[in-house]
Amino acid sequence: MSTNDEFECAIVGGGPAGLSAALVLGRARRRTILLDGEKPRNRVTKHSHGYLTRDGVTPAEFRELAHEELRKYPTLEYRHDIVVSVRKDGDRFCLSAKSGRGFSARKIILATGLAETLPGIPELASYYGKSLFSCPYCDGYEMRDRPLAVISDDPYKAAHMAQTLSQWSRDVLVCTNGHGLSPDLRSFLRDNDIPYQESAILSLEGEKGDLQAIRFADGTETARTGGIVIADWAQAANLHLELGCKLTEAGGIETDEACRTSVEGVFAAGDAAIVAPAQLIVAAAEGSRAAIGVNSDLTHESFHPPIPHFSK
Ligand SMILES: Cc1cc2nc3c(=O)[nH]c(=O)nc-3n(C[C@H](O)[C@H](O)[C@H](O)COP(=O)(O)OP(=O)(O)OC[C@H]3O[C@@H](n4cnc5c(N)ncnc54)[C@H](O)[C@@H]3O)c2cc1C
C-alpha cells in the first residue's frame, strides 16, 4: 500500500472498467489509487449474465471477487470516496474527494460510468433490474418465451428493440407510453405481427418487482411478466467537463485506440466512453486497454531521449 497521496495513476470509478484497469496497473507495479462511489449501473439487478466464467454472478459477488484479486498487489490503494473535482497542476492532476481528502496523480482514468433516467411511469424503478431490464443480451435468456413488453418514450427505439427481443420471445408488446408511432413504424410492426399500445402507461401491476400486468390510460390492461425498458443515459460524473475532454456525438468521452481522451494524461474507459448498450465484459476490456495505455505512456515518458523510430 502507498503511504502518501501521490500516485502514478488515479482511477475514478470502480465498476468493471475501473477494477480491470486497477488489476493491470497493479500487475505493472504502478502506484495507483482507485476511488469509487460504489454505485455501478447494474446495482439494481439480482444477477449479471454474459461475463465468461461469471455468468449469473451477483453484482456484489463480482465486486468482492475483483477486490480480492486487487488486494494481492501492493502498489494499489482503494478508497470508497467520490471525486468531486479535478484540476491539472503542471504535469500532475489534483483530485479532491467528498471526504475532504486530496490526491495527486500523473495520469487519470475516468471509469465513472453512466446514470440512467427511466421513463416517467409510476413505480417503474421498483421493477427495474427484477423483471424489467435494460438489455436483452444481459437478461433476455432468463425471460425467454414469456409475454414481454418493450417500454420506451421513443417509438423508433421501441420498435427496434422489439425486433431485437424477438430472438428471445415472439410475444412482445411495444408500449410507447403516450407517444404516437409514425405510419411507417405502425405498418412495420403490423407486417411483422408485433402488437403495440400507444396509450400512456397508468400503472405496473405485480409484487416485489415481479411484473404481472400493465394498465393503460385507455382503460385496457395486458398480462406481461417482463421486458425491456429504454432509459436515457448521461455521464454519471462531470469530471470530464472540468478537464475539458471532448465528447462523441453520442455523448461518450472521445478516446483513441489506447483510451486516451483529447486531454493529455486523461484516459477514459467503460460505459463513460461507450454510451451504447454496454456490457460488463466490454467495460472490463476497455479498462484493461486504458491501463496498458497509461503504463505505456508513463514508461515512454521516463526514457530520455525518446526511443528512435524504427527505420529501414
Ligand atoms: C439493470 C441492469 C442490468 C444489467 N445487467 C448486465 C448483465 O447482466 N451483464 C452485463 O454484461 N451487463 C449488464 N449491465 C450493464 C453493466 O452494468 C454496465 O455495462 C457496466 O456496469 C459498465 O461498467 P463501468 O465500469 O463502465 O461503469 P459502472 O459499473 O457503472 O461503474 C462506475 C463506477 O464509478 C463510480 N463513480 C462515478 N462517479 C464517480 C466519482 N466522481 N468518484 C468516484 N466514483 C465514481 C460509480 O459509483 C460506479 O461504482 C446491466 C445494466 C443495468 C442497468
Domains and CATH numbers, the chain: 6-116+232-301 (3.50.50.60), 119-229 (3.50.50.60)
Q: Is the CB of 112 under 6 A from ligand 1?
A: yes
Q: How far is the CA of 96 from the centre of ligand 1 (A)?
A: 22
CB of 41 closer than 6 A to ligand 1? yes
Q: Hey, what amino acid is at 291?
A: A
Q: Is the CB of 280 under 6 A from ligand 1?
A: yes
Cell numbers for 82: 467520490
**Would you write out the chain's pLDDT as a tens digit for each of its 312 residues?**
333 479 999 999 999 999 999 999 999 999 999 999 999 999 999 999 999 999 999 999 999 999 999 999 999 999 999 999 999 999 999 999 999 999 999 999 999 999 999 999 999 999 999 999 999 999 999 999 999 999 999 999 999 999 999 999 999 999 999 999 999 999 999 999 999 999 999 999 999 999 999 999 999 999 999 999 999 999 999 999 999 999 999 999 999 999 999 999 999 999 999 866 689 999 999 999 999 999 999 999 999 988 887 655
Q: Indicate the DSSP class of residue 142.
A: G
Q: Which atom of ligand 1 is nearest to the CA of 231?
A: 53
Grouping H, G, I as helix, E, B as strand and the rest as coil, residue 200 is coil
Task: Decide if 275 contacts 115 (C-beta within 8 A).
Answer: no
Q: Where are the beta strands (DSSP E) in 111-218?
A: 114-117, 132-133, 148-151, 172-175, 196-197, 201-207, 210-216
| Helix orientation angle between 16-27 and 59-70, rounded to the nearest 10 degrees | 10
Count CB-CB contacts under 10 A for residue 302: 7
Ligand 1 contact, 13 CB (< 6 A): yes
| E strand intervals along the chain | 6-12, 32-36, 76-80, 83-89, 92-97, 102-110, 114-117, 132-133, 148-151, 172-175, 196-197, 201-207, 210-216, 221-223, 226-229, 232-235, 266-268
C-alpha 198/C-alpha 175 separation (Å) is 6
The torsion angle over the Cα atoms of residues 161, 233, 198 and 131, rounded to 10 degrees, is 70
Does the CB atom of residue 288 touch ligand 1 within 6 A?
no
Residue 303 has which C-alpha cell?
526514457
Question: Does the CA dihedral 117-120-122-124 come out positive or negative?
Answer: negative
Respond yes or no on whether the N-terminal peptide bond of residue 40 is cis (omega within 30° of 0).
no
CA 197 to chain centre: 29
